Amino acid sequence: MKTVNQLLQTKGHDIWDIHPEASVYEALKLMADKKIGSLVVLEDGKLVGIISERDYARKVILLGKSSSETSVKDIMSRELFCVHPDQSIEECMAIMTNRRVRHLPVLLDEQLAGMISIGDVVKAIISDQEFIIEQLENYIVTSST
């Protein structure tokens, strides 16, 4: 069973963040530049929220607001679901499914240690399943000879 820490070792610990007073436009530009779907929102080094493309679509575009005149703090998700490095990928998938979130900040001793997405989790699960299938196929081949 793969852990968040193992996933981060492969993926990396890069974290992209933005300040709550920044404009939504600035957040969108950073997400586009980094090819990511969300940013953690930090104030004085403290995690205070997450802003995602989904927040933008639902809280700016659909309400007819301007992304350059709306602050990140006005649309960010404040209810955070975080994980720690020792948690399993399966636990993360359950949190994401049950809480309907696509991104989970990773905290180690209350410090931000990384961020994982639903794509990272699915990729890790598929990789684990492919490994198991390969091992079973090897077992079948060696057992039948």
The CATH number that applies at residue 73 is: 3.10.580.10
For 92-104, write each residue's pLDDT tens digit: 999 999 999 999 9
Domain residues for the domain of 66 are: 4-143
Any idea which residue has 């975080």 for tokens? 82
pTM of structure: 0.84
For 15-51, write each residue's pLDDT tens digit: 999 999 999 999 999 999 999 999 999 999 999 999 9
Per-residue DSSP letters for 77-140? B-S---B-TTSBHHHHHHHHHHHT-SEEEEEETTEEEEEEEHHHHHHHHHHHHHHHHHHHHHHH
Rg (CA), the chain: 18
Q: How far apart are CA 80 and CA 1, in angstroms?
A: 25
Please state, for a pLDDT cut of 70, what percent of the chain lies above it.
99
Q: How many domains does the chain have?
A: 1
